[in-house]
Structure 1
Amino acid sequence: MRQAHEKEDRDVTSHPSRRAVRGAFVTTAAVVAAVLPTTPATAQPSAADALAKFNELSQKATQLNQDKLKAQGDLAAKQGELDRAEATLATAQEAARLQRGQVDLLTEVSYSGARFNQLSALLVSDSQQDFLNRMSALNVLAADNAEAMQKLTSAIDAADAATRTADEATDASKKLLAEIEQKSADLQKQLNDARTQYDSLNASTKSSLKNAGDTSTIQAPPGTAGKALQFALDQRGDRYVHGATGPDAWDCSSLIQAAYRSANVSIGRTSYDQAKAGRAVSRGEVKPGDIIVYYSGQSHVAMAVDSVRAVHASTEGVPVRIADIDSIGPISVIRRISD
């Protein structure tokens, strides 16, 4: 049998027409092999992968949003410094105008031919006492003018320096804001891509994400922290929007700021500022109303409902709702605003 197969192979390879047929078969097989993948095709991203990517980009957007808000706050502060510097300069310029009148008077007398000095005082004096009076007046006037000019010069120099400093700071803040705006624009494109993936999720997954979760009545404790917590709980179901400040849409830090504002406590606008508010407490000490700041960059913030749960505005596409404290993200710091 083996000899028969060998003979057949010899016949195929030796006969010209048979060689052509075999060559055509080999060529066709090579083409097919080139077209068909030699390894399994790369699978399309799963719904879970798309959601994970969306969450990743949203978290970056949250940090950029906080950076942008901080830059805007810095810009406002620098503008305040500039306004104060300009007010100082205006005061100095008014002082210059008043003091310059005395200098102009002396200059005018000097140009009219009178030398207002010791010799001229001696020549025009009627007596020794008159001379002394004139010299005393001259010295007082000269001293006053010298002091006034010195103060004027110092004030103008200080105001000019303050103005330059404020201008430089304002330019730096504007540049920073422009950079962050560009980063926001770049991230927006990535976020749009993530939304496309998000849109591919099945209906049940989307419904789960849009669910406001536990909206049952929760009794907040009395006091300042309890009042702030009650405000945050009342916003459950509201939308998350980067930069929003209510009343029906929030970002993470605006919700916390508004909650404490409702309790007549002023805290910073950004999660960075809120991470420094009040005093630090440990994870085991958490109680209602405490502020919980997440991630190493401190870019997200929530409010403790109790020792286990927190309410927060989490990310775009997800409403304000309650979540397990430790499931939200890695905790950076916990702050207690009011005992």
Structure 2
Amino acid sequence: MLAYTVLPMVFTPPTRATLIEVARLAGTSKTSVSRFFGPERDKLSPTLQARIEGAAAALDYRPNLMARSLKGSGSRLLGLLVADIRNPYSVAVMHGAEMLCRQHGYALIVANTDNDDAREQDLLDALDAYRVEGVILNATGLPERQLAPLRDRALPLVLLDRDLGLPELDVIGLDDEGAIDMALDHLHAKGYRAVLYVGEAPERASSRRARLERFEARSQMLAMAASSVIAGKDAEPTLEVAIEAFVARHSATPCAVLAANGNVTLAVAHAFRALGLTMGPVGFMGIDDMPWCALVGPGITTLAQPTEAIGQAAAACLLNRLMPLDLAFQYRHRPTLIARGSTQRI
């Protein structure tokens, strides 16, 4: 009878191609390959770049970014923290930022704080541990304490949409005052003389405070009867009750509702439907243009933010701090008015 010996299975992980192997296949030096995968790629001739790129593809070579960072060469990683990844604004901004980062050889790590201060702290710590070279932050609250370790090691930071009152930090976002002026001027030109502003809790974001404060000032300049209400599941009164009372109070005056952002626009649209209000006779306008706004009722008039341009500007601002690229960008962006039937009284 034959005897069999069962040998243990030994897993051998696949070996990674090395930088030296890429250099040998490309017929160049290790230094040139290192430059190709670093910030000095432009110093190589187009012909040499093509050879290195072809060799890396043939060997399926992937640079070890963490090792590069530990050697002081930079990780080529940037971080982007957003307050609410479900918000279409966040998605469009991320796309704009990622495109520009990719063009300049950087990868973007995106994380969602879900409007949670503690999670924001954990994610900032994690990005620091990964040795990202810079961070774009759509702040949840007022995380000055959380930012202290990053500022201590001079990590470049750019704020998205929300100002923390730290003059050394750049802020990229919408021209909030200009947007409110544009909205109220449009409603006034259409004949509305009373307006209800529906926003979210202003203490959570500087942009919310700026829009509310400008609404109060601009409506007074235009002699429009103005009031405001905060939307949310715990808000008192509820949004339906507040809108119903506002319309009843101004039954003899052409009145309109102005929603502060895309989430609020959706909530107001639901309230209009529940109350049986007709858009137009009761004006309705929103800041942020959502894809569905053209499909509701006669179409909802909106102010469209140039979200991808804002994301690109935030990335350009950050990259300018990292290297002398001198990329053009704007700090504050003007929206585009998209007039639809919801602000046509007749």
TM-score, scaled to structure 1: 0.26
Q: Which structure shows the bigger proportion of residues in strand conformation?
A: 2
So what's the TM-score if we normalise by structure 2? 0.26
- Of structures 1 and 2, the larger Rg is shown by 1
| Larger helix fraction of residues | 1
